[in-house]
Amino acid sequence: MRFLQILRKAAASTQNRLRVSPISGNRSFFSHQIHSQSLHSASFGIAFDIDGVILRGDTPIGGSPQALKRLYDDSGALRFPYVFLTNGGGVPESKRATELSKLLGVPILASQVIQGHSPFRQLMNRFENELIIAVGKGEPARVMSEYGFKNVLSIDEYASYFKHIDPLEQYKNWTNEQAGYQRSSSREVERKNDPCSQRVEAVFVVSDSVDWSRDIQVLCDILSTGGLPGREISSQPPLYFANDDLSYQGLFPTERLGMGAFRIALESIYNRVYPNSLEYTSYGKPNPSVFKNAENVLMQLPSTINHRVNEQYPFKTLYMIGDNPSVDINGAWKAGQPWFSILTRSGVFKGKDNHPIYPADMVVDTVEEAVDYILSRETFQPHY
């Protein structure tokens, strides 16, 4: 934990260089309440974080399947609009929606999944045909390709074209096998363009880096040379991060280092070695623009899900349910009205009382209690 405190101080010291893109009740009672109102009475929406709230790894936690089922009617149709608002990612939203549907036992649309890298699609027109590098676990290149980018290489594949770019490659058999497979799967790209001579126009950190040492080395090579590793020092191409989370709650009992920690490591090394400071843009919570986007998505859901109470604005309240005070709760506070924050003790936060720096509007143990509280607060009457 001392190490995380040091990282948080380091994060605060670099903010001037950061360009930011724009009461638990009776559960059986609530299950009857859901069937009591027609859809047009719902004047609220919900945004759920995933890791530490809905899932831990691939395991549902906090009664999340039961909680989500309360948001549907007997036929399986969604009655109350909600989205998943997560800084995680690494796979396309459609694939994540399918995975969540299987794990949680409810039908989930791709449009209900907002990941940290979802805003990257807004940059497609700028870099549509340019060579870009996608960094991270999962399928980062596929994510960017599905957004419409036409010339994408994962950092795994890109590094495989440069002999000796990673001085530790000989000790990483798993990396060699992965890179070899990816390279053979894209021979058409290799025939058309030689990545070694083509300038990288932008780098997107889509998800958590798997190999910090290799990725930091290769990114320094790309960013310091204007996108042409091995050449002279030149102007830096744009660098984008899907989020700036220092830590997150994984399967291990204590928090794990996240993308924000990777960013600090990269920035510290880059600024020490090269003459110009690293420039970058970070997306993800707690940026207010992420919450505004969630509002827009909730409003654009099919009419069978979201009936507007008036023509100007359909929601009186939007609930953010999260486990990370500095990310979820801070983000809802920055976004302002109509956001109402609910902090769970099922992930990063485990305190008895409210968080002292980023206090939530309500603190509960689990997401199931959070949904119970919301339905109670929205005064849904039982059906007789």
Mean pLDDT of the chain: 85
What pLDDT is recorded for position 313? 67
What pLDDT is recorded for position 36? 38
Opening angle at CA 313, ends 308 and 317, nearest 5: 90
Q: Is the pLDDT of residue 379 over 60?
A: yes
Question: Which range has the worst mean pLDDT, 47-51, 183-187, 268-272, 362-366?
Answer: 183-187
Q: Domains of the chain, with CATH numbers?
A: 44-115+285-379 (3.40.50.1000), 118-171+195-282 (3.40.50.1000)
Q: Is the pLDDT of residue 225 over 90?
A: yes
Q: In this structure, are residues 78 and 72 in contact, taking their beta carbons and an 8 Å threshold?
A: yes
What pLDDT is recorded for position 79? 86
Structure-block tokens of residue 318 = 């939007």
What pLDDT is recorded for position 73? 86
Q: In this structure, are residues 332 and 320 in contact, taking their beta carbons and an 8 Å threshold?
A: yes
Amino acid identity of residue 181, one-letter, is: Y
Query: Is the peptide bond prior to 275 cis by the omega test (within 30 degrees of 0)?
Result: no
- Residue 10 has φ and ψ, to the nearest 5°, of -65, -40
What pLDDT is recorded for position 384? 32
73-114 pLDDT, tens digit per residue, is: 888 888 899 999 999 999 999 999 999 999 999 999 999 999
